[in-house]
Structure 1
Amino acid sequence: MAYSWDLPYLKEKTLVLSVNDREREVSLQEIGSLVPFKFPAGDASSIISIDVVAEGPTQVLVLADYDSKQSVFKQRTASQMTLVERDDSDRESTKEMIKDGFEIIDVDAVITFSFQIRLEGIGISVLNQRMQELIYVSMTGLELRYTDSNMYQSVNMMVKWLQIDNQLYGGSSPIILCPTQTPKDGKDAAAHPTLHSALVRAKDDTHGVVYFKYFSALLQELTVSMDEDFLYTLLEFSKFNVPGWTEDPSKIQLCDESLDVPEPVSKDDESQLFFEVLHLHPMKVNLSFMRSDHVNIEEAQQKTSSHNPIMYIFNVLTMAIGNIDAAPITLNALLLENVRASGPVLVDVLQRHYSQDFFYQLHLVVGSIEFLGNPVGLFNNLSSGVADFFYEPYQGFIMGDRPQDFGLGVVRGTSSLLKKTVFGFSDSIAKITGSVGKGLSAATMDKSFQERRRLGNQRNTPKHALSGFSKGATSLAQGVVSGVTGIVEQPLAGAQSGGVEGFFKGLGKAAVGVVTKPLVGVMDFTSNVTSGIRNTTTVFDRDQRRKRIPRHVPKNGILTMYDKSEALGQSWLKQVDSGQYFYDDYIAHLVLKGDNMVAMLTSKRIMVFRAENLKVEWELEFAEIQSIAPFPRGISITSRRDRQENFIPIFEQTSLTWFSGKIEEKVNQFNAELKPLE
């Protein structure tokens, strides 16, 4: 018989069976075999089995005669019922089952197949269309277990450590995703893995659904950080084609004007999934985003332009206020019982759940803006310090076995309060001044100045107060000098490229720069000093770094095995002389004996620099080279300009032959490309 609900607005709907003054409530959400229904029938009693089956979009309640041989439930004897009632009198679920006198037959599952994979570590390198390494995903302590029995299939996966690195050079966030809490040792990593998931599927095809007994997913607290340049590079890589973006708006129907209510129809290709328990644990994500210049995408895709005054002002403002630091987003747990849905519907439920949680916490994102000093982060640091101030002495007094534990607790609590207070206030001041300096830097309209400042901030992060003062003084001097020298250099550079019009444009940029660049220096000075004070409080904390240096891919685009030496050489080239040769293509390098010197060959020049401070000793472009002469102990290179001879000392014969061959090959290629032009 078909039925309809008497009270359809109730959240939990039950069907009531009534036989001879005996009632039984049945939930139609519980697909599968339920406890049989025992009711009086004259002088004796009768039993019917209850089963809930899915038939397309319909839930069907099947009532049949109870067959003890076929049913998974068996009747208890009177003595068993009395004994269990006496032992489990405080358990409501047990008393309910005892009332009908049935228990589940305990059938041991017979394992037919199982395997387990354990990997100490695995890495996945992702490259974009221009053969740049985009991200590197590293997982350690990866375990996967699969078990197949006559009743169930189970999958269990665990990852002790998960990290995603930004492999693009020039970015402000080298690590995109990693756990916030670093495990102390191997036991801690095993007890608190970054990712843990379990799935158990029942081999039951008689109820019209794909039957899952249990699904669980646990993700530890994560730190997610990315900048604008990486985000645009990721969008370029993915080439999103979202359905609906290209549709004609005139053809979109606002609502269906038909008043008929059709019967629900299930698609044949959409299998219905049923979960007895679906449990997604709560998650916390500390979200950071930095506005940045576009370094790794095509020039045609640059959205900011200094020729448009509106975009110029927008770029300056967003550079200052568009930076978010560690916004704490907490996503609540999701626990669903007896849920039946198709795959797309289930995904939609998850999306709505997490999107609502995120939008309800947008105020935390606003409160984490660096321009405001990250008030949310400041409050969390201060409250954590105050809590430690009272909690540590309490722990020493209650949990300690020695009299001095209370005193040690007082010391630890006071130290934590002072440390987190200094960290919080210095961090807020550093973020305010850094954001203002970033916006003023965008206002200078001097790309070379912005590039030097960006690379300098990345390479020379102050580790303590003294280095912060030194780095701040250097930034202040560079801002003042660049502003003064720009009065002469920028008009001349504009005249060389654009004639009279370029001269006046350069003059305008110089006028803006002479005011803004010293202000940038002042802001950078304050930011570096306060950052040094802040980092003094965390000098003993573990610093998270990339798992490996970004891969080097030759200019011909042929992907080869990862070479650590080539990756190191490319990394040096991107940073040497504060990024002055950032856009050169790496060819080869050779570490020289003595004084930590390195000889490097790029697509445009030969140079020698010091590896300890990445300062160039000398460099020559191919067009400036007069002659190259190999000697038994090195290579002599003569300059075309002043006939000065530069010598690369190489004492090992194999290295000399290899590096000489690389230079000869590149110079011959340069001459071949130059000859048609001549």
Structure 2
Amino acid sequence: HIPRVAHPVLLIFLHQGNEPALHLSAVKKKGTVFKYVAVRLLDITIALDRETTQTVHTLSRPLLRTPSIDNDAAAWLQNYTDQIRQYNKFPGFTSSHKINTDRIYIEQLNLHPIRISFTFTQQWNFDQLNLSEGSALLHYIRLIPSINSAPISFTSFLVRHVFESPQVLKQIIRNHYLSQARQCALNLVGSLAILQGPADFLTNIGTGVRDFVYHPINGSVHGPEKFWEGVETGSLSLARGVFNGVFRGAANVTGIVNSNLVALTDEHFIEERNAYQRTLTDLNQGDQSKSISDILFLAGTSVAHGITSGAMGLVEEPLENFNKQGTAGFVRGMGSAIISAIVKPAVGLGDGAIIIMKHGERLVGDSCNVLVATPKRLRRALPRKFIKMGNSVLLNKYDELSSMAQNIVECSGNHTDAYISHMYSCKYLFIASESSLWIINRRTDEQECLQWEEISHFYTHGCCLILIIFTELGVSPKVLDCESTDILENVKRLMSMQANKMTNTRNCSFGNNTSDFFMTGSHYDIIGVKVRQQKYIFGSVNCQYNNHHDNSLDNQATLDHCHRRVRFLHSDNSTFFSSLDEEAWGLISTWRNIYSGIHSRRCLVLGLINGTGEGIQIKSTILLEGGSPICRIPAGMDFDELNSILKPGGAIIFFAWGVSPNLNQRGSIHLQMDSNVFLSHFSSTTAVATPRTGYSCVFLERSISDWWAKFWLLITTGQGQTK
């Protein structure tokens, strides 16, 4: 029956992104104790017609009852279990029909609201009913009138500290939804197709009157000019509401009359009309590219189809009935043909009128939509009062510049981000949000959004604020001129709000003297390193071709060659750090050539330098996610393999890779490392190192790309990272 149905799609879940249709969250402590249980169902659109409803009912009837179980459930369960045991000999496998009446405890139960849009189309011409025993529901289906987009809403069910048996809890939830289902009856009555025309007319008129009153009031807040614009916009909105109400109401009433008249015609005409209606779905979907001549052609086609079908019926139907039933059939066919000759042109004329009226409704809507509406005031800015408390805000007086700053964050597309505060200077607009720092050049409108984790730290020089930013080519400075010391102090205060999220600021304190360490690389002497290192910035060799690596090798041979080369690197050479970084990038570069195209795999390189002046014992390295063992490549003789101790001034490289991505998994990498001086987590998207008391963790490089990640971590004592 699918080609004949009015609504081919029965259920539509209104997704936003990749949301699941049904989401269930449960946090279980132990036994029957739950800390949190939540159920969320997306908004649903249900569209049915009479024939589909009867078909679904016929198919589901055998599933609604099981006579073999109704008699004795315990005996049925025992017999079914014995049948299974004949084929599967499970030790200790027994049947049980005891009902679990133990109480369960739920600290918080959250059933989200349910919203349903229900549409039912009655097919008066369809009369293929099976009125056998047990099909009483089909009688009621015949009596249901058409319903158009009836809103059915169930409020949320929120309770805390639930301590009930499952049976009692289900009954409470059932009563909650049944009580609201009774209240939805009025929504169904208001959505009857026969009442849709008057309701639409009143809705459009009401909207126009509201705009006619409130648009001038809103415009008067901005001044006399906006007041008169509001009067103009409100007047046009009122006119649009009247025209839309008339056109849409007339189209709905005509459609109801046509749906009843078409039941008096033959099945062949109904099928032809339904097929033609499907070709006009572009009009119902808002296709506004058709001209008035195209609309008149479509309307004329509907009228011509009705007249032609009625005229042909005057000849064909009496002859067809005469061949089957003789003279009596001829008389009966002639009477039916005369009725059809009157009804079919009327139906065609009604369909043509509906096409014209819907097009007129769209034209009225388009002419009003192009008008400039009265500007609405942006939402009041709500800066954060306490950084660690997301719900603590300051209710300041309305400021348009602050509202604009907040609107930039809200319109970024990141729904998890939240505005915290902002700072204006003559040249820049600084905005601090929950996850990002926004820097907007007010003169050129250039906008830059930096994740807090992309910032190593910041310091000042004169009236300039200097940000040290991690890029794919190592650290890079960004100098911002703040014009005066007062503005500079305000910007520093803004940056300090999220300083704990910056990669290096959260683990160590930087001043103006030590901050230069990143821009001069290893210019300073590191404790334990035997020779002062040359000026070098970790990551500066990234994206460069290294001719020491043979791309024809497989993964194991590549690791073996790298291990042999790194073994001859010692800290008594001034190029020790630059050579280590070249080897780390060489691993990534070779790996990308070995695994490319559809065989691509992500990889991660972690370099560790001991600047503490004492040994670092690496207790464990665990690959929580990935597709390889963790490869350790120590430099020189500064790593004790037996005790896993990295000697002072020593360095070691860790390398891991993931599985090939597919539809089920992204192929990410997640490495966890624990030692006596720090605890860290590294993945293909993030890096976090937490030092223990008396030590500091400094990221010399934090380069993250789609297919690789590269980190260099310097471990120092609490006094600083240099001698």
Give the TM-score normalised by structure 2.
Answer: 0.39
Question: Going by fraction, where is strand more abundant, 1 or 2?
Answer: 1
Is the radius of gyration larger for structure 1 or structure 2?
2
